[in-house]
Structure 1
């Protein structure tokens, strides 16, 4: 095979994983077993699973009351798969795949990896985008959602935290501790998570709906997690109200990992964080530190609905996961902390994407992705922040209430399953009664952004505006010639009349447009600073 862009066939679909992982932190090793309940849709002798950096010791299939050992196991390091071949075809219907495996707890911040602080050893997982396969054989693509029942065996003196709630704990004959966790709702493999080590937690706090929330930090730091815990409680309550869907998981554990590559990771029930984004001295933390902790918590909790409950079908829609969480996380943070003026920070953060997007070397928000690594490699301020700005621009154009109706309908329709960006636009179209597919496609698939050149003429009954758009380039020579790219621009005109401040919304289609604002005494062509475009007013 040898194809790094290999996609698993859809002839076998996982329904449930029973996972047992035994970790040795002294040797940085682990071994485990996976019992995967699958639905075989087409009879086959061949089963493909993702696996990388693992030794597969045994593999079999159980059906019709009998165990059938795999005749052959083939490892393909390019495709990152293991192929199981059986003497007899697996029948259609329910089959259980049983595997035993072992591996190293890695010294890089991917898969099941090691971490140390103050001479103490920890281990944690980071599986996005495609590194669950480094910890257990699995169907490691986002469309293959399944339930996970996890058991962890850990060295004495350590705790274990995972997606599910802890339901049992016992001491094994060899002195290690076994932790058993509740089964999760259907989730993708990149969202499975566990952490092991001498973590300590804050006291539990509860949301108004009864969800238990804790922060776990390395030994000696638990008191630094109180602000973050309370930020999670407040944000979760606001998001339950915004989505009109109760929090979908058993609990919230927010875990500060000593070594962590990203800022945070939205594993349902077990969100992992870089320490600087979760630990703070409650007496001395600065306002910027508090803003960062609160906004990151709100961002990750937004993912519990957008990304976890409803998951992208493939990595080419990863941009929408992050853009939506950035926007709604900011929205929640701003509403709960009006004293911080967070929307000023949001707009100020757009300076970098505006600058990058003015270069001829920029790229669209959305792009075709052949494999998960490509999605991660192309993720930058265009994808994150321009994407969030475009989502905010569409919300401001439609109105916050209409936009929220579309969000709620989308989440209800696709809960515990997969969806695409096009599914989201259709939900917004239904809620708003507007055609949005063309608008959305232009903004996410075209590179760059427009500048609106405006000529104003004030008259006795208001202002007449004539406008022309063109793509903005930082290079004056390129800007002068342009490249012919046009956008449907959702413009919110804000203006003052004798009656007070008013707004008019138009969708600017084509190169030129004209607008009449009755009774206008002055005009601002980007109401709420929500448009991702530049404008130039004449001197009138």
Structure 2
């Protein structure tokens, strides 16, 4: 699954403790109280169901082959929002063994079947007739409505991760319980039905109905089951013996061409990398209109689901960044076909075995096939995002203890994804890419179609590498937080520079805490040199002897997951050599300096001095980082108009020459990073109020209807962003009118999203009312509220609390405990701390308050940073001016 990376990071559990080392997967008993007992194990589900898309209900029957390990009168499985008509036990030969009394625990999401006499040890078949709901948000079996020139259409899809298969099929809805599936569905004749496997048979029932039977699936966990139904188009391409497909609503196949053409080479490359061929006969990529607060794509085995913005490339609105995001999302979800689907974590504690590795593999595939995108530089942004969460006390270990459904949902966050990816990159660099791949191949081979815990992987990598990496891996995955490596460089003698290293901990809200201990792989090189020295910092101390004389860059190549704090003298040398550092190290140095400056461990102006010293020909992604730092500072002024105006003048003066160099118009053959920078600078300069950019964006938007070149598709989002942010009532109403008549869901959603991005508070309030009015699509409302919270967090939070039931009705089940408290995280108002705490106490169970705790921590940190940093930055601006 791919979550929203930066827009709405999901919650972490509070006040974590380092968990015990995970053990190889030989689990015979449930390891937490909320897991099902292991005494009854499903081996096969035979499901038949009939959806009623008009009434938003379905009826179903399922026969579940089970193995009973000891006689029992009761069988408990998971079920949510299901009504049971009949439950009975059948012997292997088909003989009825008795009906069951059904007891449902709605809070625990379980159903217990009690039989008059014990069910004997051995094989049985549990036969269940039941009915359920079709939802309007992405959970269980759900419906998405979309407008077309022929009127409104409705399509059905499923979303089961992490714990929503139980809304569709009474089941052992935990990753440990793998089984095979036969699925049969009665559908309107002429509509396309999609499953994990190809269709084995279609039978015309008459009366406009057909019965579709899918081929039997391999063993898999419940959360990977998939079904889709609607008026779809499908295109295919053969990759060896596998039929690769893309599925869209009718008329949109051309928009999926890039995804289809990209996925074939990725599949072949993954087959080789993992040393195991993709085991299913087909692999579909399925695009659906709408969106979710929880995810953008889902790795159902053989039937990957995407919201349209994550898969379709529309020349009317898609950017180069969109194109790259489509590629990385496809690569991420395809990596899950091995890491997650073929080999699955035993329980949600080890979710990162799915998500961290898929994130890492997406980066590897992108580097391999599109080196011109410089994706390794983008990974620094992901690492920084993870460190933003990991430096607060509300963080959690990569391998974390999960008990409840809510806690499992909260585990899908930047620690699991981006920190997981960064740790894997660090460990791969430590053992070497060939040894790492050999270990991964051995792991896949040893555990195919089974379940694992994290140590199963370390065992195989350690065997392949011949290096003891498990202790290092445990340090970075079983405890939270970020190592801080303090650097002191000595004199250069005989052509070598000695570097002393001390390990501490980077914490934004626990500055006096006793640092945790890590074994930290560290690399360093003299600026401009090609020679890299490496060591492992153990016991808090280390040293390096680096070839060459001159400033030494620590974490050279940025493979390490740690912050680097130079002594003032050492940093002065690195800063003086900044222009000749590789782009990846420029990003690392400026990121560390900015984070440490905001935390008071380094002069906050050090990073700003690097901003001013960056050469005009620096990598576009370095300039994107600089633009991000400058707009972050701008946001800190929070209404202090005079000093903010002075800062904006300086920031615009710094960025404008870069933008003028690349211009508004794309040049033939220009590198992709330049196209991305153009769009980013339009938005950032627009946010800074650059008169020239704002005026030109408005001019182009006004000319769009008469001049086809005024708003090219690659810039449409950026131009809309500037116009919407700066909108007055008349401009906002014009955008609203445009949104109401737009038929293309990708463009329509973008217009409504921009209506919620307005800087004017009264218009932002109007956008909030619009969000819950029923006019935007059901799945778009929550995104509009989230977008308002970017500039107006207090307004969005207060509105959502006041309209709690209406807002929660627009939020999918997996985000129900996180959405409203998460809206406050960008606030700097001390009163908001009490509001969030009060909301959590009144509405959330104690184990489900992770997002609320994280918001409180973020607000507290923001207040502290503004108080300490802004006077210093304002004085610095005055000097520079």
Q: Where on the TM-score scale, by shorter chain, does this alignment land: which range? A: over 0.9
Q: Does 1:493 align with 2:511?
A: no
Partner of 1:526: 555
Q: Does 1:319 align with 2:348?
A: no
* Residues 157 and 80 (structure 1), Cα distance of their counterparts in 2 relative to 1, 3 Å cut: same
Partner of 2:469: 436
Q: Does 1:20 align with 2:45?
A: no
1:106-145 to 2 correspondences below 5 Å:
106-118=135-147, 119-145=152-178
Partner of 2:285: 254
User: In the alignment, is the contact (CA less than 8 A) between 2:174 and 2:347 conserved in 1?
Assistant: yes
* Residues 487 and 313 (structure 1), Cα distance of their counterparts in 2 relative to 1, 3 Å cut: same
* Residues 240 and 351 (structure 1), Cα distance of their counterparts in 2 relative to 1, 3 Å cut: same
User: In the alignment, is the contact (CA less than 8 A) between 1:140 and 1:189 conserved in 2?
Assistant: yes
- Secondary structure, counterpart of 1:350 in structure 2: helix
Q: Does 1:417 align with 2:450?
A: yes
User: In the alignment, is the contact (CA less than 8 A) between 2:335 and 2:361 conserved in 1?
Assistant: yes
* Residues 64 and 19 (structure 1), Cα distance of their counterparts in 2 relative to 1, 3 Å cut: closer
Q: Deviations over 1:131-164 (max 9, x none)?
A: 1111111111110000011111112331110101
Match of 1:267 among 280, 283, 300: 300
- Secondary structure, counterpart of 1:229 in structure 2: helix
User: In the alignment, is the contact (CA less than 8 A) between 1:253 and 1:270 conserved in 2?
Assistant: yes
Q: Does 1:389 align with 2:411?
A: no
Tell me how far 1:235 sits from its aligned partner.
1.5
Partner of 1:502: 531
1:463-478 to 2 correspondences below 5 Å:
463-474=497-508
Partner of 2:60: 32
Tell me how far 1:519 sits from its aligned partner.
5.6
**In 2, Cα distance between equivalents of 1:447 and 1:307:** 23
How many pairs are equivalent? 530
- Secondary structure, counterpart of 2:459 in structure 1: helix
- Secondary structure, counterpart of 2:206 in structure 1: coil
* Residues 373 and 248 (structure 1), Cα distance of their counterparts in 2 relative to 1, 3 Å cut: farther
**In 1, Cα distance between equivalents of 2:549 and 2:198:** 59
- Secondary structure, counterpart of 1:79 in structure 2: coil
User: In the alignment, is the contact (CA less than 8 A) between 2:534 and 2:544 conserved in 1?
Assistant: no
User: In the alignment, is the contact (CA less than 8 A) between 1:167 and 1:180 conserved in 2?
Assistant: yes
Tell me how far 1:252 sits from its aligned partner.
0.8
More helix by share: 2
User: In the alignment, is the contact (CA less than 8 A) between 2:526 and 2:547 conserved in 1?
Assistant: no
User: In the alignment, is the contact (CA less than 8 A) between 1:23 and 1:155 conserved in 2?
Assistant: no
- Secondary structure, counterpart of 2:233 in structure 1: strand
User: In the alignment, is the contact (CA less than 8 A) between 1:462 and 1:521 conserved in 2?
Assistant: no
Partner of 1:484: 515
User: In the alignment, is the contact (CA less than 8 A) between 1:490 and 1:507 conserved in 2?
Assistant: yes
1:345-364 to 2 correspondences below 5 Å:
345-364=378-397
Partner of 1:220: 251
Tell me how far 1:466 sits from its aligned partner.
1.4
Tell me how far 1:173 sits from its aligned partner.
2.8
**In 1, Cα distance between equivalents of 2:106 and 2:145:** 29
Partner of 2:197: 164
- Secondary structure, counterpart of 1:416 in structure 2: coil
**In 2, Cα distance between equivalents of 1:114 and 1:24:** 11
* Residues 274 and 244 (structure 1), Cα distance of their counterparts in 2 relative to 1, 3 Å cut: same
Q: Deviations over 1:100-123 (max 9, x none)?
A: 111121223201111111100111
Partner of 2:237: 205
User: In the alignment, is the contact (CA less than 8 A) between 1:169 and 1:180 conserved in 2?
Assistant: yes
Tell me how far 1:93 sits from its aligned partner.
1.9
User: In the alignment, is the contact (CA less than 8 A) between 1:486 and 1:511 conserved in 2?
Assistant: yes
Q: Does 1:148 align with 2:177?
A: no
* Residues 7 and 362 (structure 1), Cα distance of their counterparts in 2 relative to 1, 3 Å cut: closer
* Residues 157 and 397 (structure 1), Cα distance of their counterparts in 2 relative to 1, 3 Å cut: same
Tell me how far 1:263 sits from its aligned partner.
0.7
Partner of 1:460: 494
User: In the alignment, is the contact (CA less than 8 A) between 1:5 and 1:79 conserved in 2?
Assistant: no
User: In the alignment, is the contact (CA less than 8 A) between 2:73 and 2:114 conserved in 1?
Assistant: yes
Partner of 1:535: 564
Partner of 2:778: none
**In 2, Cα distance between equivalents of 1:381 and 1:71:** 44
Q: Does 1:47 align with 2:47?
A: no
Q: Deviations over 1:421-480 (max 9, x none)?
A: 1111111111112222322222123222122112222111412221111111346xx54x
**In 2, Cα distance between equivalents of 1:397 and 1:521:** 25
User: In the alignment, is the contact (CA less than 8 A) between 1:22 and 1:153 conserved in 2?
Assistant: yes
**In 2, Cα distance between equivalents of 1:283 and 1:121:** 24
Partner of 2:627: none
Tell me how far 1:517 sits from its aligned partner.
3.3
Tell me how far 1:260 sits from its aligned partner.
3.9
Partner of 1:70: 99
Partner of 1:243: 274
**In 2, Cα distance between equivalents of 1:437 and 1:352:** 26
**In 2, Cα distance between equivalents of 1:200 and 1:153:** 20
Match of 1:289 among 305, 322, 327: 322
**In 2, Cα distance between equivalents of 1:324 and 1:71:** 43
**In 2, Cα distance between equivalents of 1:528 and 1:94:** 56
Tell me how far 1:484 sits from its aligned partner.
2.5
Tell me how far 1:350 sits from its aligned partner.
2.2
User: In the alignment, is the contact (CA less than 8 A) between 1:63 and 1:95 conserved in 2?
Assistant: yes
Match of 2:84 among 45, 56, 60: 56
Q: What TM-score do you get using the length of structure 2 for normalisation?
A: 0.58
* Residues 357 and 7 (structure 1), Cα distance of their counterparts in 2 relative to 1, 3 Å cut: closer
**In 2, Cα distance between equivalents of 1:205 and 1:474:** 51
**In 2, Cα distance between equivalents of 1:441 and 1:304:** 26
* Residues 363 and 139 (structure 1), Cα distance of their counterparts in 2 relative to 1, 3 Å cut: closer
Deviates more, 1:99-108 or 1:279-288: 279-288
Q: Deviations over 1:356-401 (max 9, x none)?
A: 3233443332321012320212432222211211111111111111
Q: Deviations over 1:55-77 (max 9, x none)?
A: 11111111153112324111111
**In 2, Cα distance between equivalents of 1:324 and 1:369:** 19
**In 2, Cα distance between equivalents of 1:172 and 1:383:** 47
**In 1, Cα distance between equivalents of 2:73 and 2:516:** 52
CA RMSD of aligned residues (A): 2.0
Partner of 2:545: 516
Q: Which has the larger radius of gyration?
A: 2
User: In the alignment, is the contact (CA less than 8 A) between 1:24 and 1:155 conserved in 2?
Assistant: no
Partner of 2:377: 344
Higher relative contact order (CA 8 A, sep 6+): 2
Tell me how far 1:39 sits from its aligned partner.
1.4
* Residues 535 and 496 (structure 1), Cα distance of their counterparts in 2 relative to 1, 3 Å cut: closer
Q: What TM-score do you get using the length of structure 1 for normalisation?
A: 0.94
Partner of 1:188: 221
Tell me how far 1:284 sits from its aligned partner.
7.2
Tell me how far 1:227 sits from its aligned partner.
0.7
Unaligned runs of 5+ in 2: 1-31, 571-881
Tell me how far 1:349 sits from its aligned partner.
2.6
Q: Deviations over 1:284-321 (max 9, x none)?
A: 74221110000000000000000000000001111231
Deviates more, 1:443-452 or 1:395-404: 443-452
User: In the alignment, is the contact (CA less than 8 A) between 1:48 and 1:84 conserved in 2?
Assistant: yes
